[in-house]
Structure 1
Amino acid sequence: MKLHIVPARTGMSWVKLGIRAFWRQPMALAALFFMTMASMSVATLVPLVGPAIALALLPSATLAMMVAAAEATQGRFPTPAVLLVAFRTGRQRLRDMLVLGALYAVGFLGVMGLSALIDGGQFAQVYLGGAKLTPEVAQDASFQSAMWLSMILYLPLSLLFWHAPGLVHWHGVPPVKALFFSIVACVRNFGAFFVYGLGWLGVFLLGGMAIATVSALLTVAGLAGSAAGGIMVGAAMMMAAMFFTSVVFTFRDCFEPPNSPTPPSAEVPHDATATDPADPPAPGPH
């Protein structure tokens, strides 16, 4: 496995490729994203350990969207079967993905625990859905401090797990090594990821403005209420699905593909014209 250093402009290419791949199969990818979020929401209903289970499922959900994006890029229709791709590639890979999920849950709960030292757990309860965010709570100085601490601590946690699911699944890298290689790849390609983040920030801002404009028009037409709310939720889900669709391109361009062929359903795409679905071409920035 070899790490690739890509120019900063590649970050914008990742954004464009994610959006383009999404629109190849918009209904399928949006539905798959909704199903992954719904499965995690259902997991939270398990007494006592529900939130931890939901957090542990996130790496597998991320991998599912990466594989689905790969399928869409190769001109194939991603089916709901990709949601189980992390659990169908052998006992060792399954064990590694479960370990990766457990490590993520521990890391995230650790971030929430540290924030609780500042505000007594108020931010953690709001973030995890156990309490409502009121204006009084949002304006509380300790709540804001806990929020900023969580954001700062979550950044390295996110970088640790950014490439880890793909490294475990496609390269067979052990979980702890996958975390190390993931953050090294993100740091070494800081310029590209910075542009990538700015690009998605722009997409979300433009999307928010478009949603606000549509909602205002519906209000003028007397159609506000459930219609506007449905449009806002649907648009937000669609943009989130686009974002997760783009993750596979960041992975593809940061790491050289494995030497051994991979199953068609687990292929890392390079472009839509690849002729051998079992042997992904060498990556390169677009």
Structure 2
Amino acid sequence: MKLNIVPARTGFVWVKLGMRTFLKQPLALTGLFFMYMAGVLVLSQLPFVGSVLGAMLVPAATLGLMAATAEAASGRFPMPSVLISAFRAGRQRARAMLVLGAIYTVGSMLATLLASALVGEPGAAVAADSQSPPLDARSLVALVLHTPLVILFWHSPALVHWHGIAPVKSLFFSAVACFRNLGAMLMYAVTWLGVFVVVAFVFSSVGMMLGGVAVARSVMLPTVLLLVAMFSTSLYFTFRDSFDPDDELAEPQPAPPEESAP
């Protein structure tokens, strides 16, 4: 594996490329993102296994959105089938993606349980204080504890799918790439945070002027969802520029139909 070290300013470029690619195919990429969200909501309604299945499919869904971006960046129209790219590249890579999903599920459950153990359930605090903010202390701790998972799984689905890296090794490479390109990743995060803050301020202000809090909220919900869809479009470029193909790794190709025989 050949890691590519990029300058910090590349983080801003990743945001710009994500926006530009999204605007090339806004309807297709928005539609695919909402299909993913709808799938998560449907799975979450299943009793007992819904949340587990949803977590299991996070790496595969992330890969699907990255594959859709690769299609759009290449000038092609991303079809809905691109969302299941992880399961169209042969049994070996499909199994590896499910292994990633299992690791992610266990890690997410442990982080959530640890947050509950450290802070406790939010119900009592909310009942005691009706003015408690929507994001309680338990949720904040859980979010912090999920950060290592985010780092481990940032590049791993793409490494497994496009380059055939073993699941555990892909987690290691993902973490190394994130830390070695920490400046670019921080610039990427700060830039996106700035975009969200500015857009949220503008649209909420317009909503308030047009009709108060209710209108502002109705305007903000679709705006935030579109921004998240645009953010997901930029993920592919963080992966593409962090690894250089060498003799063992081929250039990432969108949605390969079948895994080549050795």
TM value normalised by structure 2: 0.89
Distance in 2 of aligned mates of 1:251 and 1:80: 22
Partner of 1:242: 230
| Number of residue pairs aligned between Structure 1 and Structure 2 | 252
**Which whole-Å deviations, capped at 9, do the CAs of 1:158-193 have from their partners, x for residues lacking one?**
000000100000110111111110001000110000
Partner of 1:174: 166
Partner of 1:201: 193
Distance in 2 of aligned mates of 1:68 and 1:159: 22
Distance in 1 of aligned mates of 2:119 and 2:132: 10
Q: Which residue, 155, 161, 182 being the options, matches 1:163?
A: 155
Instruction: Note if 1:153 corresponds to 2:145.
Output: yes
Paired amino acid for 2:200: G
Partner of 1:119: 119
Are 1:67 and 1:266, in contact at CA under 8 Å, matched by a contact in 2? no
Distance in 2 of aligned mates of 1:135 and 1:194: 36
Q: Would the alpha carbon gap of residues 58 and 264 (structure 1) be closer, same or farther in structure 2, given more than 3 Å must change?
A: closer
Paired amino acid for 1:244: S
Structure with the larger RCO, 1 or 2 (CA within 8 Å, 6+ apart): 2
Distance in 1 of aligned mates of 2:130 and 2:80: 40
Partner of 2:221: 233
Instruction: Note if 1:51 corresponds to 2:48.
Output: no
User: Equivalent residue of 2:241, what SS?
Assistant: helix
The Cα shift of 1:151 comes to 2.7
User: Equivalent residue of 1:265, what SS?
Assistant: coil
TM value normalised by structure 1: 0.81
Instruction: Note if 1:15 corresponds to 2:15.
Output: yes
The Cα shift of 1:122 comes to 2.9
Q: Percent identity?
A: 47
Partner of 1:64: 64
Q: Would the alpha carbon gap of residues 139 and 41 (structure 1) be closer, same or farther in structure 2, given more than 3 Å must change?
A: closer
Consecutive unaligned residues of structure 1, counting only runs of 5 or more, are: 124-130, 268-286
Are 1:113 and 1:121, in contact at CA under 8 Å, matched by a contact in 2? no
Are 1:4 and 1:255, in contact at CA under 8 Å, matched by a contact in 2? yes
Distance in 2 of aligned mates of 1:189 and 1:263: 23
Q: Would the alpha carbon gap of residues 139 and 160 (structure 1) be closer, same or farther in structure 2, given more than 3 Å must change?
A: closer
RMSD: 2.4
Instruction: Note if 1:89 corresponds to 2:89.
Output: yes
Consecutive unaligned residues of structure 2, counting only runs of 5 or more, are: 258-262
Are 1:18 and 1:242, in contact at CA under 8 Å, matched by a contact in 2? yes
Distance in 2 of aligned mates of 1:261 and 1:121: 47
Q: Would the alpha carbon gap of residues 147 and 73 (structure 1) be closer, same or farther in structure 2, given more than 3 Å must change?
A: same
